[in-house]
């Protein structure tokens, strides 16, 4: 499972001038202001910042779950603004994997069936789907739990099933929103070990929102959101990215 979506030297993710604002009555709430970002393929980036700083909003924009008020997002060579709603949904299904704090597994499906769900939207044969699911569950170390239902799994195992579901389509980027926020320390460390493994051995690009400094330490770079923009892990305002 490797990342072959871009030529060497081209940023996998390129955001320019990202603005995001919301209306609340007569007031305009500015969440992001003119944000620029480049992420190379195979990188592991952690986003930190206080609650309400826009971390999840940024993740949603980069994954095509939301649209910016202004600015552009290009992922794997595709300008997301150029896609219709239907094409954007299809693009997300094949290019982005999502991992959330709450695992969002379907209770009546086994681990195998939960991981298979994204593949049901593809033209893959049943045999190919089965092969991919087994590989994904093998990567997260749950081959022996594939017939178990979520209620039969620990929280850490459920999150690992969620990660397997996110990577089974071989996405260009894995977006993780507080992936360890609902886990005890030992389970959190297991999940973080897995994310590090995906980066180092499978060239997966991981963007992770977290409040946990120990989780952020696993990333190759840490970016802080502050007043609608990004600063580096030392608190210095980042220079504007090259055009």
pLDDT single digits (tens) 102-124: 889 999 999 999 999 999 988 89
Confidence of residue 9 (pLDDT cuts 50, 70, 90): low
pLDDT of residue 189: 95
Is 104 among the domain residues? yes
Mean pLDDT, to the nearest integer, of 52-59? 92
Is 73 among the domain residues? no
Is 125 among the domain residues? yes
Is 22 among the domain residues? no
Confidence of residue 236 (pLDDT cuts 50, 70, 90): very low
Flag whether the pTM goes above 0.85.
yes
Q: Give whole-number Cα distances, 54 to 181, 185, 226, in Å.
A: 17, 26, 9
CATH of the domain at 99: 3.40.50.300
**What are the pLDDT digits (tens) for 150-206?**
999 999 999 999 999 999 999 989 999 999 998 999 999 999 999 999 999 989 999
pLDDT of residue 52: 83
Is 172 among the domain residues? yes
Asked if 164 contacts 115 with a C-beta cutoff of 8 angstroms, the reply is yes
Is 198 among the domain residues? yes
Is 133 among the domain residues? yes
* Count of domains observed in the chain: 1
User: Locate tokens 């794997």: which residue?
Assistant: 76
Confidence of residue 243 (pLDDT cuts 50, 70, 90): very low
Confidence of residue 8 (pLDDT cuts 50, 70, 90): low
The whole domain housing 228 covers 41-63+95-232
Is 79 among the domain residues? no
Q: Is 141 exposed, middle or buried (0-12, 13-18, 19+ CB in 10 A)?
A: middle
């Amino acid at each position: 499972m490797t990342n072959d979506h871009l030529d060497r030297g081209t940023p996998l993710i390129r955001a320019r001038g990202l603005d995001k604002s919301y209306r609340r009555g007569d007031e305009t709430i500015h969440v992001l202001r003119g944000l620029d970002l480049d992420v190379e393929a195979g990188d592991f980036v952690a986003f930190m910042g206080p609650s309400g700083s826009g971390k999840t909003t940024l993740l949603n924009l980069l994954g095509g779950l939301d649209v910016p008020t202004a600015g552009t997002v290009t992922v794997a060579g595709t300008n997301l603004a150029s896609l219709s709603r239907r094409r954007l949904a299809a693009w997300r299904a094949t290019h982005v994997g999502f991992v959330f704090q709450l695992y969002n597994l379907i209770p009546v499906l086994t681990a195998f069936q939960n991981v298979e769900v994204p593949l049901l939207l593809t033209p893959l044969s049943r045999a190919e789907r089965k092969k991919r699911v087994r590989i994904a569950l093998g990567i997260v170390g749950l081959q022996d739990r594939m017939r178990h239902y979520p209620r039969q799994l620990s929280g850490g195992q459920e999150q690992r099933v969620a990660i397997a579901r996110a990577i089974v389509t071989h996405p260009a980027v894995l977006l993780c929103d507080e992936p360890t926020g609902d886990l005890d320390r030992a389970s959190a460390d297991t999940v973080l070990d897995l994310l590090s493994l995906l980066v180092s051995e499978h060239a997966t690009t991981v963007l992770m929102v977290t409040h946990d400094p120990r989780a952020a330490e696993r990333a190759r770079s840490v970016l802080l959101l502050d007043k609608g923009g990004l600063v580096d892990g030392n608190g210095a305002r980042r220079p504007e990215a090259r055009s």
